[in-house]
Homo-oligomer: A and B are copies of this chain.
């Protein structure tokens, strides 16, 4: 397991655990590492499984398929992030999604029961591991709540206004630098890309905001804030 320590140490799952302890912990968890080829499936929709996956190298896609075989991409997970944590922690009997390797990848699979059961033995950092796991799930929870806050708003303008208000980095100059390009921004807000462009243009036209690429500034805070309600 020692050779995997450099690969996993950046994962939030093992945050705050030093290398020596980590090596010990990986053994204690009985973590398995597998190489997967591009396009091969790690999990299929409808499967039952009890592992948390950690991408050591490469990328996997979370995919939803319908009966007709249409597939839609839910998310891409790259190293050093984990997947399946909500599913196994929630005790759901079947996976609502499939996981497919987006490229040749290296995956570590960790048995969930071992992860959550503090071992009686010398594994002192197990408690920290559990806290990390809980934190990861809770943070995703906060993230999803925020996303729903945008998606529920009826107009594109309201969504944009709310997003910008939440992402102000410079509170004096009211500037927001957003980590998404236009297409991703539109997708995140659940609107059509061209409709987003149109709305941004109108807002600029009306003197509410100014922007270039992913750098936005709020010119008329009162009006923008009124849209947030």
Contact = CB atoms under 8 A, between A and B. Distances in A.
Interface in A101-149: 116-118, 127, 130-131, 133-135, 137-142, 144-148
Interface string A8-41: 0000000000000000000000000000000000
A173 interface: no
Contacts of A92: 142
Nearest to A130: B130
B145 A86 contact: yes
A87 interface: yes
B145 A116 contact: no
Interface string A72-97: 10000000000001111111100010
Contacts of A138: 85-91, 137
A190 interface: yes
* Chain A interface category by residue count: 35 or more
A214 to B, nearest CB: 22
A148 B147 contact: yes
Chain A interface, >50% SS class: helix
Contact of A67 (B134, B142, B144, B225): B225
Contacts of A88: 138
B90 A225 contact: no
Contacts of A141: 86, 90, 137, 140-141, 144
Given A70-B229, A127-B118, A229-B72, A144 B137 contact: no
30 contacts: A66-B225, A68-B225, A68-B226, A68-B229, A72-B229, A86-B138, A86-B142, A86-B145, A89-B137, A89-B138, A90-B139, A90-B142, A91-B135, A96-B145, A116-B130, A116-B131, A116-B134, A118-B118, A134-B134, A137-B137, A137-B138, A137-B141, A141-B144, A144-B144, A144-B148, A147-B148, A148-B148, A151-B152, A151-B190, A152-B190
Given A90-B135, A96-B142, 16 more contacts: A66-B225, A68-B225, A85-B138, A86-B138, A86-B142, A87-B138, A87-B142, A91-B135, A96-B145, A96-B146, A116-B131, A117-B127, A137-B137, A137-B138, A137-B141, A151-B152
